[in-house]
A and B are shown apart, each in its own frame.
Chain A
Amino acid sequence: MKMSANTADKDNNVSTNKNISLPISRVRLIMKSSPDVSNINQEALFLTTKATELFVQYLAVSSFNNGSGKGSKSLSYSDLASTAEENDTFHFLTDILPKKILAGDYLKTLEQIEDEEADI
């Protein structure tokens, strides 16, 4: 009996109910691409999808409230990056959000490295 509920939900994987806006099938794909993850119960999948939505909302709102763009009603990359660094729960994000550096600074750093290697 659970099978029919599963297949039916797979077909309407976006919004059979107004409470979930992310595509459930995509969330499942991403979960399964995690190493070692085998099977996921359909309800567990709903939970994860909803939790991800809450996460997005929370990330957006926190970054905006703590960010420099609040006055001008804008949200920038660096707002997100700062929030991730300052907020413990967001620490897992620091790997994927290096603070961006200006191209000019990067080139200078490169030159420095080259100079150092030349000296050796």
Chain B
Amino acid sequence: MASSSGNDDDLTIPRAAINKMIKETLPNVRVANDARELVVNCCTEFIHLVSSEANEICNKSEKKTISPEHVINALESLGFGSYITEVKDVLQECKSVALKRRKASSRLENLGIPEEELLRQQQELFAKARQQQAELAQQEWLQMQQAAEQAHMAATSASAGQQAGSSQDEDDDDDICL
């Protein structure tokens, strides 16, 4: 559904989003497929209309970026002035959401710990981790050694026992138990 061609003119709002809106706006109404397709294209057309108008207004104001004011004026001049109140409400909502996000991220930044202290703590943590790793590795090495020794002892005693004969088994068993 997403346009994979590089052609800008093929850009449209995804069909699914439009279908959902139509369903919510006209519940229980059967909408023909070609009608839906048409709505998708009307959307694109509307966006172009508003962007061009807003762009013109922007150019006249000698600013380089289309601002909310430009869009609002464009809507007014195109005859969609009735949308302005509702559209402005959404803007407020978006602003407050963005503001909350900024507050949340700055709360993390402002724990009050200066950077050098943070670095020091980090180094400490790394050193600790390295030490733990080393201890763990040493333990594993010791265990491996012990296991190898046991295996070796078992092997040597077993062959010695075989040479001496079965009566020696009990004594040999005592030697093997470490």
Q: What is A's interface to B at a CB cutoff of 8 Å?
A: 1, 4-5, 8-9, 16-17, 19-23, 26-27, 29-31, 33-41, 43-44, 46-48, 50-57, 59-61, 64, 69, 72-77, 79-81, 88-89, 92-93, 95-97
Inter-chain contact B26/A64, CB cutoff 8 Å = yes
Chain B, interface size category, equals 35 or more
C-alpha gap A34/B88 in the complex (Å): 24
Select which of A40, A61, A96 is within 8 A of B42 by beta carbon.
A96
Could you say which residues of chain B place their CB within 8 Å of the CB of A89? 78-80
**How many A-B residue pairs lie within 8 Å, measured between CB atoms?**
200
Inter-chain contact B67/A80, CB cutoff 8 Å = no
**Known pairs A17-B94, A92-B45, A96-B42; A54 contacts B29 (CB<8 A):** no
Inter-chain contact B35/A75, CB cutoff 8 Å = yes
Inter-chain contact A96/B45, CB cutoff 8 Å = yes
**Known pairs A9-B98, A31-B47, A89-B80; A26 contacts B14 (CB<8 A):** yes
Select which of B17, B78, B83, B101 is within 8 A of A21 by beta carbon.
B17
Q: Is B148 an interface residue (CB 8 A)?
A: no
The proximity string for B residues 38-61 relative to A, scoring 1 for CB distances below 8 Å and 0 otherwise, is: 110111111111111011000000
Q: Which residue of B lies closest to A39 (CB)?
A: B65
Q: For the complex, would chain A's binding face be called helix, strand, loop or mixed by DSSP majority?
A: helix
Could you say which residues of chain B place their CB within 8 Å of the CB of A47? 68, 71-72, 87-88, 90-91
Select which of B25, B30, B41 is within 8 A of A96 by beta carbon.
B41
Known contacts A21-B20, A27-B13, A50-B91; 11 additional CB pairs below 8 A are A16-B97, A17-B93, A19-B93, A34-B52, A38-B66, A46-B68, A47-B87, A47-B88, A48-B47, A60-B22, A75-B35
Q: What is B's interface to A at a CB cutoff of 8 Å?
A: 8-9, 11-14, 17-18, 20-22, 25-26, 28-32, 34-35, 38-39, 41-52, 54-55, 64-68, 70-72, 75, 78-80, 83, 86-91, 93-95, 97-98, 101-102, 105
C-alpha gap A19/B19 in the complex (Å): 17
Q: Which residue of B lies closest to A6 (CB)?
A: B98
